[in-house]
Structure 1
Amino acid sequence: MDVEELRQRLQFEPSALPLSSHTLQACVIDFDKVDNALDWLEKDDNHHLICLSDPHYPPLLQQIYDPPSVLFIKGNLNALLPPSIAIVGSRSMSLHGADTAANLAISLSNQGFSITSGMAAGIDGAAHKAVVANNGMTLAVLGCGVDVIYPKRHKALYDNIQQNGCVISEFWPNVSPLAGHFPRRNRIVSGLSLGTVVVEAARKSGSLITARLAMEQNREVFAVPGSTVAGFHQGCHDLIKNGAKLVENAADIIEELGCLSQYHLEQLHQRHYIQDNEMSNLPFPSQLASLLTSVGYETTTIDAVVEHSGKPIDLVLVQLLELELQGWVTVVPGGYVRLKRS
């Protein structure tokens, strides 16, 4: 990509998607930094620069009111393909909150979702670390330049995320973390995701900004309840009172997002740069493969699937939903039918 091509891609077009005055201003200022951006882009094969008009631009993020005009990405670009769920929460998390975030992240990752968060201390870091340890895909959205590690204690996490996932920023390389950057970062966290899960949050927690932005973007908001005595969960309880779905496990989230996940995958298939083999490389956990053998090419009742698989019915229903989303089975009167061979 040369300088002129990059300039043309960054050019503001009134007929394109709606952009705010902030984005327009960023476009004007950023032209002076094109040469530096190109230098950064050429430093490593895992450096990527995606403009708003680029076909690789995440379709969900493209739909928000104020999409970033440019994204700087380090890591695996294919991590943008699976449907994503954001997990956010308090920086001062409890041990129970850390376990809850990790368990939700692993369960959702095993079902083929990527996990998006802000790589902050606390719940964000716990979610990222769990997915990395599980060899899943996680997206870390930064409130600084994509080459700046913040907080510094997450240096190893920053590097590990890039193996299967990626780190993302709308800020140009070498930009330091500033307080005003993080609310803008949060709109990308929620904008990349089908829904946002708040695990722990006090009433003044920054993660509530992400939840509010998700609501404004017409995305789902989920909250994990907790003790009414400790202050860790006050923000979550307020969200639930205001209409957020109460979450006890990953099945609660998947049940709510099933149709939206299907829409997201259909949108990805329509993107001309995505080939069938890319979609087939998305995570297909072994537990889904074992359940698939319980579904025949003729109508198979849910009772037969449960009996053959030996799994509890609630788990079977969740995994059948994921198989349906990935196009392996379909619902028919009386049960399920398998559509293709593994």
Structure 2
Amino acid sequence: MDREEVAAWLRLLETPHVGRESARRLLAAFGSPEAVFTAPIAARREVVAAEVAKALDHAPDHLPPLLEATWRWLSDDSTGARHVVALGDPIYPDLLLQTADPPLLMYVQGDVNLLSAPGIGVVGSRHPTPQGKDNALAFSTHLSQAGWTIVSGMALGIDGAAHEGGLAGPGQTIAVVGTGLDRVYPRRHLELAWRIAQHGAIVSEYPIGTPPLPPNFPQRNRIIAGLTRGTLVVEAALQSGSLITARLASEAGREVFAIPGSIHSPQSRGCHALLKQGAKLVESAADVLEEFPAKASPSQAAPAKVAHTVAADPLLEALGFDPVSLDALVARTGWPAPELNAKLLELELLGDVARLPGQLFQRVSTG
């Protein structure tokens, strides 16, 4: 896309009162952004509201600096890894095109061909349990090893673990973000974002310079759902953006998977709600892969599982798999609190137990 084309797309999408639906109608009627601007205002009024048709006669005041910043972002890349992909472009992913609200313009840094690779969305809580984070990493690793691209939102928690798993296999990973691609949010993922840009792809529909605005993150979830053939929810509270992604995936006719968890954990309630609504319960990566037999791979022979540690230690057996307080463990074991604390610290150092907020402990399954 040359500078003039980029300018035309930015002008269309940045003109006041022109939302995605109006822009789609205009493009369907006139064929290209350039044709929209050269069309008589009377012709535009047959497609969109009069105020929208009139607004398109004048470029927005902030267009020149935005175009300059966008072109600088594209030009500063010596590797050819930065792209602007518009609706109708030959490399625009077909799966995303089949959704109700595909983005009209996407900014991509990394391997643009991954946008059309077979993908699985892996999403979940920003505040997962240790077991949830381990599950996200294990599932994503095995799915990537089986050739699937892991798509997530680069948030803290489950998203970050999903991307790490994607990077561990040939399937790689795509991060769909809610900022301009000249920014990294959250900053704690700066190094992760660099690795994704080098080996996978980072995608945004937001212009260069866009800060992390709260409304942008639920909006980007439709792209995660749209790029993938299915979405796996690892952990999620009832009021969770992950459930938005799952709903959008279902509405697009894609598969929805959920990992069950403790009935006492708030981070499991979203998954349990999805299961009640018909999502597929999964305990291993093989449960996901069997829904897509055409993408079978020999590497599926060692699928990721929701791990269950063999109970060789009586304290691990007493812990179970739910978060539990020290007082509850005293009641279950009959051991004095100081002895329990010492044993819990030993298991924590071995990686078998995690200490949670609120003076709770949870057994960590590792195999």
Q: Normalising to structure 2: TM-score of the pair?
A: 0.66
Q: Displacement of 1:31 after TM fit?
A: 6.0
Which amino acid in the other structure matches residue 220 of structure 1? Answer: E
- Corresponding residue number in structure 1 for 2:72: 39
- Corresponding residue number in structure 2 for 1:6: 6
- Does residue 139 (structure 1) correspond to residue 139 (structure 2)? The answer is no
Provide the C-alpha distance between the structure 2 equivalents of 1:39 and 1:230, rounded to a whole number of angstroms: 47
- Corresponding residue number in structure 1 for 2:160: 125
Q: Displacement of 1:131 after TM fit?
A: 2.1
1:12-66 residue CA offsets vs partner (Å, 9 max, x unmatched): 42257xxxx9xx99x9869663343222111102111111111111111111111
Q: Displacement of 1:136 after TM fit?
A: 4.2
1:133 to 1:254, Cα distance in 2 relative to 1, 3 A: closer
Provide the C-alpha distance between the structure 2 equivalents of 1:256 and 1:31, rounded to a whole number of angstroms: 46
1:291-320 residue CA offsets vs partner (Å, 9 max, x unmatched): 9xxxxxxxxxxxxxxxxxxx79x99xxxxx
Give 3-state SS (helix, strand or coil) of 1:14's partner. Answer: helix
Provide the C-alpha distance between the structure 2 equivalents of 1:66 and 1:31, rounded to a whole number of angstroms: 24
1:115-160 residue CA offsets vs partner (Å, 9 max, x unmatched): 0000000000011012224454100000111121100000110001
Kept in 1, the 8 Å contact 2:145–2:168? The answer is: no
Equivalence map 1:50-69=2 (5 Å): 50-69=85-104
Kept in 1, the 8 Å contact 2:120–2:232? The answer is: yes
1:263-290 residue CA offsets vs partner (Å, 9 max, x unmatched): xxxxxxxxxxxxxxxxxxxxxx8x55xx
Q: Displacement of 1:229 after TM fit?
A: 1.4
Q: Displacement of 1:81 after TM fit?
A: 3.4
Which amino acid in the other structure matches residue 186 of structure 1? Answer: N
Kept in 1, the 8 Å contact 2:173–2:196? The answer is: yes
1:64-99 residue CA offsets vs partner (Å, 9 max, x unmatched): 111111110111222223200000000010111011
Provide the C-alpha distance between the structure 1 equivalents of 2:228 and 2:90, rounded to a whole number of angstroms: 18
Q: Displacement of 1:210 after TM fit?
A: 0.8
Provide the C-alpha distance between the structure 1 equivalents of 2:118 and 2:7, rounded to a whole number of angstroms: 30
1:251 to 1:133, Cα distance in 2 relative to 1, 3 A: closer
Q: Displacement of 1:249 after TM fit?
A: 1.0
Provide the C-alpha distance between the structure 1 equivalents of 2:219 and 2:287, rounded to a whole number of angstroms: 28
Q: Displacement of 1:258 after TM fit?
A: 3.2
- Does residue 105 (structure 1) correspond to residue 119 (structure 2)? The answer is no
Provide the C-alpha distance between the structure 2 equivalents of 1:249 and 1:185, rounded to a whole number of angstroms: 27
Q: Normalising to structure 1: TM-score of the pair?
A: 0.70
Taking only aligned residues, the RMSD between alpha carbons, in angstroms, comes to: 2.8
Give 3-state SS (helix, strand or coil) of 1:13's partner. Answer: helix
Give the gaps of 5 or more residues in structure 1: 263-284, 292-310, 316-342
Among 106, 122, 127, which residue is 1:71 paired with?
106
Q: Displacement of 1:9 after TM fit?
A: 6.2
Provide the C-alpha distance between the structure 2 equivalents of 1:257 and 1:131, rounded to a whole number of angstroms: 18
Provide the C-alpha distance between the structure 1 equivalents of 2:8 and 2:209, rounded to a whole number of angstroms: 23
Provide the C-alpha distance between the structure 2 equivalents of 1:210 and 1:143, rounded to a whole number of angstroms: 14
Provide the C-alpha distance between the structure 1 equivalents of 2:126 and 2:5, rounded to a whole number of angstroms: 41
Among 182, 194, 204, which residue is 2:239 paired with?
204
Provide the C-alpha distance between the structure 1 equivalents of 2:63 and 2:172, rounded to a whole number of angstroms: 32
Provide the C-alpha distance between the structure 1 equivalents of 2:289 and 2:112, rounded to a whole number of angstroms: 24
Provide the C-alpha distance between the structure 2 equivalents of 1:254 and 1:135, rounded to a whole number of angstroms: 16
Which amino acid in the other structure matches residue 123 of structure 1? Answer: I
Which amino acid in the other structure matches residue 193 of structure 1? Answer: T
1:9 to 1:181, Cα distance in 2 relative to 1, 3 A: closer
Kept in 2, the 8 Å contact 1:136–1:164? The answer is: no
1:157-192 residue CA offsets vs partner (Å, 9 max, x unmatched): 000112220100000111101110011110111111
Provide the C-alpha distance between the structure 2 equivalents of 1:132 and 1:72, rounded to a whole number of angstroms: 21
Higher relative contact order (CA 8 A, sep 6+): 1
Kept in 1, the 8 Å contact 2:145–2:170? The answer is: no
Kept in 2, the 8 Å contact 1:214–1:220? The answer is: yes
Among 169, 191, 194, which residue is 2:229 paired with?
194
Provide the C-alpha distance between the structure 1 equivalents of 2:276 and 2:117, rounded to a whole number of angstroms: 31
Kept in 2, the 8 Å contact 1:79–1:164? The answer is: no
Count of residue pairs brought into register by the alignment: 263
- Corresponding residue number in structure 2 for 1:257: 292
- Does residue 226 (structure 1) correspond to residue 261 (structure 2)? The answer is yes
Kept in 2, the 8 Å contact 1:82–1:112? The answer is: no
Give 3-state SS (helix, strand or coil) of 1:102's partner. Answer: helix
Which amino acid in the other structure matches residue 156 of structure 1? Answer: E
